[in-house]
Amino acid sequence: MERDEDHQGDARGGVQVVSRTAAIMRALSANPGGLSLTAIAKEVDLPRSTVQRLVTALEVEGLVDVKGPHGGTRLGPAIAEFVASAHADMVVFGRHQLRQLLDEVNETCSIVTAVNARSMVLETMVAEHPLRVVLCEGWQIPLYASAGGKALLAAYGDDLIEQFFEETLEPLTPHTLTTRKALLAEIARIREDGVAYARNEFTPGISTLATMLNTSMGIYAFEVAMPDARFEARAAEVKAALLAHRERVLAEAVGFQRDRLAGTLGFFDSTVVQS
């Protein structure tokens, strides 16, 4: 018969593995372009051999991809599948809406959601320009550093934002907001204006605009990303398109949920369910 301390030892070891694995996943989440094993080991303060063993196990499950675009390890396709499952209604509904927005503005368009204090790309469509922005599904950056993230924050009260962030924010570029006070002022402007902006705030040369939608499916943002070189010439046009798009999506989301409810109840004619 095994002793209790043996079970306790196994439990402690299991907790340690989970803790180390979580640290690796967080490091990769913060570096969507990928990291080498050595860089991961430095980020999480673990021996490289331990990192390699855990990364190999994660790769088998599809949770990491060891052949990222820059040769490093990055989050794997299973992560995007998990997120998509959690937001399945918006992904299904929003795909058509995203295509409409792409056709209108001809710039890369994405649906983003909040994951802890970061924005994550749920779905993205890339514009056909020689000079264009390409984002990956599952891409995560701090909420304060992108238009989509700031648009999402506008849906929440200042007290919650103060819980999310310290008084000083980590700059990703020289243009990133660096204080919570500045972020709160920016959020107040977004609530009045309806559109969030971020110019060179998470990556130099990339600017984004976004608007937030508070739907029965959850809180999301539609974001438009473009090279900063086109921002001045296109900002007013894209802003108008985003505001019109938001009103259309909010109206159509009600019908989508009504029809979904009708299907769940077994009705083929959704008109029998009143909004």
Q: Report how far Cα 78 is from the mean position of its chain's Cα atoms.
A: 15
17 and 108 share a domain? no
3-state helix, strand, coil in the chain (%, to 5): 55, 20, 30
Mean pLDDT is lowest, of 32-36, 122-126, 176-180, 249-253, for 32-36
CATH, residue 24? 1.10.10.10
**Cα separation values, 166 from 43, 106, 158, Å:** 21, 37, 13
Query: pLDDT band at 267, cuts 50/70/90?
Result: very low
The residue out of 27, 44, 75 marking a domain boundary is: 75
The candidate with the shortest Cα–Cα distance to 88, out of 123, 136, 129, is 123
pLDDT for res 25: 83
138 and 244 share a domain? yes
Residue 272 lies in a domain: no
Is the pLDDT score of 259 beyond 70?
A: no
At residue 206, the 3 state secondary structure works out as strand
The candidate with the shortest Cα–Cα distance to 206, out of 120, 140, 132, 98, is 132
pTM: predicted TM-score of the whole model, two decimal places: 0.66
The CA-based diameter of the chain, rounded to the nearest angstrom, is 75
Residue pair 108/126 in contact by the 8 Å Cβ criterion: yes
Cα atoms in the 13 Å half-sphere on the side-chain side of 208? 32
pLDDT for res 87: 60
Domain count, the chain: 2
Mean pLDDT is lowest, of 68-82, 109-123, 232-246, for 68-82
CA–CA dist 98, 201 (Å, integer): 23
182 and 68 share a domain? no
CA–CA dist 88, 62 (Å, integer): 20
201 and 121 share a domain? yes
Task: Give the residue ranges of DSSP H helices in 34-167.
Answer: 37-44, 48-60, 77-86, 88-105, 147-153, 158-164
Is the pLDDT score of 8 beyond 70?
A: no
Query: pLDDT band at 164, cuts 50/70/90?
Result: confident
CA–CA dist 90, 102 (Å, integer): 17
150 and 255 share a domain? yes
Mean pLDDT is lowest, of 81-90, 102-111, 243-252, for 81-90
191 and 256 share a domain? yes
Per DSSP, the chain holds a count of helices (H) and strands (E) of 9, 8
Domain that residue 41 falls in: 4-75
231-265 vs 88-105: helix axis angle to the nearest 10?
A: 150
